[in-house]
Structures are given as structure tokens and as C-alpha cells.
Structure 1
Amino acid sequence: MSDERPGDQAAPDAPVPDGTEQQPGSASEVLGAALGGAARRAGLDPAKQSSTGHVVWAAMGGWRGLLESILPGLIFIVAYTVTIDPATGDGDLWLALALSVGTAAVFTIARLVARQPVTAAVGGLVAAVVAAGFAAFTGEASNNFIPGFVTNVLYGSAFLISALVGWSLIGLAVGFLMGEGTAWRQDKRKRRVFFWLAIAWASLFAARLIVQLPLYFADNVTALGTLKLVMGIPLFAPMVAVTWLAVRALYPPDPK
């Protein structure tokens, strides 16, 4: 069976005629710099001699980042579930939203007081407020998860499209971090690895939607919230590890 993939048609092995790379190259360099900068801030720099465990832990933000990612959602689903009225089948939506947003606010304030970077905490607070807004405006607890669905659609589509057109987002970020720009596109092995890594990330976001959307339409808030947590960090961490190991295999450290 041939190992030909869709991305190969958009990124052929043969040299591209002069001028055809120029326009997308300039845009790709800007995008690659943005993606690479974000990856470096998250501790994902293949040029550094870091262990896989250290990289995954740094990507999650350590204990504080882990708590900031999990606790607001966990508190929402616990508070809503324990207050469900058997007669109506509904929980106390306002209490669950208040506790969830309040928890995210506490994390943000704690970082401000400690004069630590607040980007992750503020992002979590904004996400909690936006999600709460959807639920509060409609009065439906399940609508608290709509922003998450939108995020998965956007990220999944971006990774999938980037792979299919031969400009993998993973490749763009790594190319910037390794100082080779878009030169990786001339290497068939690197193109193939970056293609499949982008497909793997797209599949992760797609899997979340496939599993969680039926629960949303069934208005099963407890199961939906639980699966969102289960398909969050527990799937994100292994995917980061696989990506890191694959990239390190492509760029082995120089022997000393």
C-alpha cells in the first residue's frame, strides 16, 4: 500500500518553481513565529535538552496550571449535580456558575497578588465568564459547554486544514523554534511527520466533539461535564508527549 498522503499533493517532493513559495512563505513565517513563541513560553522548545516529563509538566503549567484548568469546570459540575432536584431534574445553575467563575477569579487574583504571570489564569477566567454567560442567558446548564465546542471546532479545523494543504501548524512552529523557517517542507520525512502530528491533534479535537455533542443534545449535563474533564488534560498530556518525542526524533541533539 502506498504511503502517499493528501498533504503530499500540496507539498510535492520536487522543488517548487521560483516564486510560488514566496507569498505563502512570508505569511507562514509570521504564523510560525507566533506559534513558536507560544510553544516556547509553554516550555515546548525542541532546542532545549529537557526530559519528556518535564516538557509535559511545563506545558500543563505545573500544579497551579493544572488546578486552574480543572477546578472551575470540576466545581461547576459537582455543584450542579449535587443540587439536582429529583422532581425537575435540574440543578442550581446560578450557584454552580457563581462557584465556577469565583474559583477562576480567585486563581487570577492570587497570581496578581504574587506578581506572577497571569496569562493562563486570566484566560481561564475569561473562558469561565463567557461559558457562564451562555448558560445564564439561556437558563440551560448544558450551554455552559458551547464555548468549548466552538474552541474544539476552530482548533481541529485549523490543524486539519494546515495538514491537508501541506503547511502543518506543528511544522511551522518547530521550523521557527529550530531556526530553519519553512525549510522542513523540502524534507519528505519531516513533512510526513508534521502532517501526521497535525492530523493527530485534529483527531483529538474531533473526538471530543463526537463524544460530547450527543450528550449536549441529550441535555445530560453531569455526563457531559465529566467527559469534558476526562477528555481534557488526560488526553492533552499524552498528545504533548507524543509530539515532543516525534519532533526530538527529527532533530536529535548534536553530539558533543
Structure 2
Amino acid sequence: MTSLDKPTEHTEDTEHDNRAVTEAALFEAFGGVRGMIETVLPGLLFVTIYTINKDLHLSALAALGVSVLLVVVRLAMRDTVKHAFSGVFGVAFGVVFAMMTGEAKDFYLPGMLYTLGLALAYIITTLAGVPLIGVMLGPVFKENLSWRTRNPGRKKAYAKASWAWGLILLAKCAILFPLYWWADTTQLGWVLVTLKIPPFLLAVWLTWVFLAKAPPPIDVFAEMEAEEKRQEAEAARSAE
């Protein structure tokens, strides 16, 4: 090994570590495979039952029931329930809305409005200089909002990722809202289920690409711990 090889290997190791940390953080933040299943299953059950018997009440209650069951399973396994709970609330809003209007198609409307609102939030926060994906992932990477002022490379990566999320979700809305008006419930339901995972995976992959190439996060928690130890050491020296 020559002296010229060492910096290259060190850089490669750093990039590999950065990619590994990014993958782990994204997996934690977005729930991984299990989180995707919990997102898709209630809607899939609703549209399947409704396609078979056109029974709004049975379809809605079945979707709500499986959402609650997923939370119970998470609680029994003492696992994080944030993804399952978000699924329960989303399904519950859809059930209430559909029951109030009597239109099975309205089961999907709250989720569609949430998707539209989230798309706009990604775009608006990026234009405001505080990309939403950075706000969401900052605590996961233990950097909080340090990237805003201390790590411009990561801020740029978060901005790119937020633009990706916003535009992908807007494209999804551009497909779903016309179908809400023109298609029947089963057609809308199956298209919506089909569009649950692919746009999500594309957005997550683009986020990984942008962040894996960005500078590593600044661990503000480690900095705070180091500062506390320094102050304790100074206090001990002063006491002596």
C-alpha cells in the first residue's frame, strides 16, 4: 500500500459508513417493509371487500378492524407504533367521512387531501429554506436542525429530497383526483392501492441518493455531551 492509497481508502470507508448510516436512518424513519404493509393492507382490504359485495359498512369496518389489529400486534411485541397509529387515524377519518356522506368513494378522500397537503408542505418549506425532509430526518441523524447553518451540503441535499417528495406526491394527486370525480369506487380504490408503494419507494430512493452523497451529519447530541463533560471537568478543577 502506498501513501497515495491511504486517503482514497479512507474516503471510500467514510462514504460507505455514510451510506450505511443513511440507509439505517431512512429505514427507521419510514418504517421499512412492515411499515409499507401496514400502510397498504387496510385500503387493500377495503377495496377487495367492496369489489366483491359493494357493502360500504362491511368494507369500512374491516379496514378499520385490521388497522386496530396492527396496532395491537405492535403493542404486544413492544415495538414502535407510530406507523400503525398513523394508519389507524387515516383509516378512521376515511370511515367517518364515508359513513357521513354515504359514498364509498369518500373513504379515500381524507387520505388524498392529506397527500396533497403533504406535497405542498414539502414544496413550501423548501422554498422557505427549511426543507421538511430535513426537519423530519434531523433528529433521526442526531443532527436536529444543525444542517441549516452549519452544514450547507446537507441542507442542499435535504432541499433536493424535499423537492422530490413534493413533486412525486403532486404527480400522484394529479392521477387520483380526476379519478375521484370520474371513476367508480373500485377503479379508484385499485389505482390508489397500486400507487401506494412505487411513488413512496422512488421518493425514499432519491432521498437516499441525495443524502448518501452529502456531507455526514453533525452529531449535536455528542457535542452536548462533550460540552457537559468539559464543564464538569472545569468545575472539578475549580473545586480542587
Could you state the TM-score of these two structures normalised by the residue count of structure 1? 0.68
Per the alignment, do residues 173 and 131 of structure 1 end up closer, same or farther by CA in structure 2, a change over 3 Å counting?
closer
Q: State which of 117, 120, 123 in structure 2 corresponds to 1:160.
A: 123
Match of 1:182 in 2: 148
Per the alignment, do residues 239 and 222 of structure 1 end up closer, same or farther by CA in structure 2, a change over 3 Å counting?
same
Structure with the largest fraction of helix:
2
Q: Percent identity?
A: 28
Match of 2:37 in 1: 67
The count of corresponding residues between Structure 1 and Structure 2 is 199
Per the alignment, do residues 234 and 140 of structure 1 end up closer, same or farther by CA in structure 2, a change over 3 Å counting?
same
- One-letter amino acid matched to 1:213: F
| Deviations, residues 122-152 of structure 1 (Å, cap 9, x unaligned) | 2211211111010011110110111112211
Deviates more, 1:199-208 or 1:107-116: 107-116
Contact 1:104 1:121 in 2 (8 A): yes
- One-letter amino acid matched to 1:69: T
Q: Distance in 2 between matches of 1:190 and 1:93?
A: 47
TM-aligned CA deviation for residue 196 of structure 1: 2.8
Q: Distance in 2 between matches of 1:75 and 1:142?
A: 14
Q: State which of 76, 94, 109 in structure 1 corresponds to 2:46.
A: 76
| Deviations, residues 23-66 of structure 1 (Å, cap 9, x unaligned) | xxxxxxxxxxxxxxxxxxxxxxx9683474x6655455344323
Structure 2, gaps ≥5 residues long: 1-16, 218-240
Q: State which of 138, 143, 148 in structure 1 corresponds to 2:111.
A: 148
* Pairs within 5 Å for 1:23-172: 49-50=20-21, 52=23, 57-83=27-53, 91-172=54-135
Greater relative contact order, per chain length (Cα 8 Å cut-off, separation 6+): 1
Match of 2:180 in 1: 216
**RMSD value over aligned CA atoms?**
2.8
Match of 1:227 in 2: 191
Match of 2:213 in 1: 249
Q: Distance in 2 between matches of 1:227 and 1:59?
A: 26
Structure 1, gaps ≥5 residues long: 1-45, 84-90
Contact 1:56 1:237 in 2 (8 A): no
Per the alignment, do residues 137 and 174 of structure 1 end up closer, same or farther by CA in structure 2, a change over 3 Å counting?
closer
Could you state the TM-score of these two structures normalised by the residue count of structure 2? 0.72
TM-aligned CA deviation for residue 93 of structure 1: 0.7
Match of 1:200 in 2: 164
- One-letter amino acid matched to 1:49: A
Contact 2:29 2:137 in 1 (8 A): no
Q: Distance in 2 between matches of 1:106 and 1:192?
A: 40
Contact 1:104 1:124 in 2 (8 A): yes
